[in-house]
Structure 1
Amino acid sequence: YLDVLRLLVNNKCLLQKQNCLLSFCLQQSELNSFLWTIKRDPPSYFYGTIHVPYTRVWDFIPENSKQAFQESSIVCFELDLTDPYTISALSSCQLLPQGENLQDLLPRDIYRRLKTHLEYVKLMLPSWMTPDQRGKGLYADYLFNAIAGNWERKRPVWVMLMVNSLTEADIKTRGAPVLDLYLAQEAQRMRKRTGAVEKVEEQCHPLNGLNFSQVIFALNQTLLQQESLRAGGLQVPYTTEHLIKHYNCGDLNSIIFSHDTSQVPNFKNATLPASEQVTAQEIELYFRQELIYKRNERMGRRVRALLEEQPDKSFFFAFGAGLISQRLSFEIMLFLGTNLDFKPLRNGLFFLRRKFVAVILPLMKSPSR
């Protein structure tokens, strides 16, 4: 049945963008719903989110995940993005100490290249925006200032992340709440209790913990990547579009989703000199340890405490998919205790939009993988 479905979808792939996504999804060896259940009475859930506009993924999220969200009484996130203090603290931790600015800190050549690149982005940004964004009243100047405003006062590591996000593909996704924020807003609208298992400082301090030479290396490599993109000489391996496509297909690819979880670009490059290869590997290992492994351990302890303190409540934990997918999910499981059954709910065809069901269901008597 799946072979027949693949043939039907591939024949229409050139005509409809959604069908092309279906064709891509059907090529995956294992499809998941990003929903794990903690079996107890009442049940609780882990759900893997993604840091992209919810409008790009919501229609592909299966009903079992939406139902679990609706039936849960308490919804917990990594951070509470609806709390004004959280947003203020996130902004403050990115800033240099009072009286310092980037021009005084950065090597002259890197500062010049950074300024040139930001001027290029500001010039190109109007042409990168979509008609839908313009129709919603988004202006290029507003968007640029929202992302890059006050950049000369930011710490170099945050400027590096900012530059990495100022691409045409990322600009086109701006304007709607990311999935995490949308779920938080929906939880408030439904009058659910909400909470967070992390503090702002726990996400900020690891990024601010790189030494100066590592930060300069990272910023320089990021600028080199963007300059190569501008010249047409580089293809980025994992773009936002790749992330969305794999997420909508339920493809638990830890390589891709770990980039979304850490939000840090990959600096390893076969063309780097040996000494710089070492630096790139040190940075990658540092971020993986601080932003994934240590976070898993810390969040696992706090999740366990919440579950033990309120055994009569149904929790919905919405964390980054990179944190709870594949083997990383088992690290959290270890901290939950062996009395909890922690496994994904799967359905090989969960990703199908409702509009395709009328066409596909007559061809299939039961889901198959």
Structure 2
Amino acid sequence: MPVYLYWGDDTYRLMQAVQQLRDQVLDPHWAAFNYDRLPPESTIAGLNQAMTPPLGSNARLVWLEETTLTQHCPEDLWEEVERTLAQLPPTTHLLLTTSSKPDGRLKSTKILKKTAIVREFSQLAPWDEEGILQQVQREAEQRDLALSPAAAQKLAEAVGNDSRRLAMELEKLALFTAGQQDPISPEQVEALVPASAYNSFQLAGSLRKGNLEQALRILTHLLDHNEPALRILAVLVGQFRTWLWVRLLLDQGERDPKVIAQKAEIGNPNRVYFLQKEVGSLESSALLRMMQQLLQLEYQLKQGQPEREVFQEALIQIVAFLQKGSSSRSRSQTSAAALLGERGTIGPASRSTAT
């Protein structure tokens, strides 16, 4: 009675797992007769099909796609599911998939987590640089593809959290470097992998690291691909505001991730761990000056000044602030508190840039 629950918004990885399961359990000669893929409105029909013995083979796969059983499950429907699970033949593999996170409060979710093989396929957040790099390294290892550390870093920057594109680019690298004894170099990655996955979060990360050359390159890419300047700015303001809040709270001796997440308005407390590492070498005074520069940039953009020129100048100033360092944390904390306000907002103007 194998039952599987696959969930997450990384559609590519989830579909790859479904295909692997299909290849694993079905006889290819009888797959057309023993494989059923059903939409959420056909749950009852799928359960009935799951009770049917396979034709000409020893296994049947019934896939309930985008199931609602872990989000909303009426009592009468769950009674039917429970009855089916109790009598499911050992020759049937029942697969349930959903892009939404299962609601752990539901009875149906609790029972499925106990009886099913559960796998999560959530897409990495674009700000999770460490997680994206680990995903690149893991996928490369699974393909027996050797990447130098610098090449893995460059590939992570190029593809971001797009798992589908990562798989395609790794296949391309494997093809063009077949027979090569040395690990793939960053120069080869740069030559073969266009950096079309650049996003505003990577721009913020480049500024945080003081990498002006990369920041200007990402900005140029975004503007050339018609990304609205105010939308880019909204991401930068939100990211630097979060870094400033975390830095100030750390300076005050706060270490509880939940408290930091609440005060800094961070939706996921697990993100605090990464944020603490990101602001480890930053001064609150430098972050404050960066925020002021971003607010000045917003004013310039809304006044209709040439977006590329004023944006580039702002990035140069921000990196200069990092290089100069800070003079006094205590003075910046007082100024930052006034800027952020009691509720931790930057002000109506900056909020208005968010989409």
Shorter-chain TM-score tier: under 0.3
TM-score by length of 2: 0.21
Larger Rg: 2
Q: TM-score, normalised by structure 1?
A: 0.20
**Greater RCO (CA < 8 Å, at least 6 residues apart):** 1
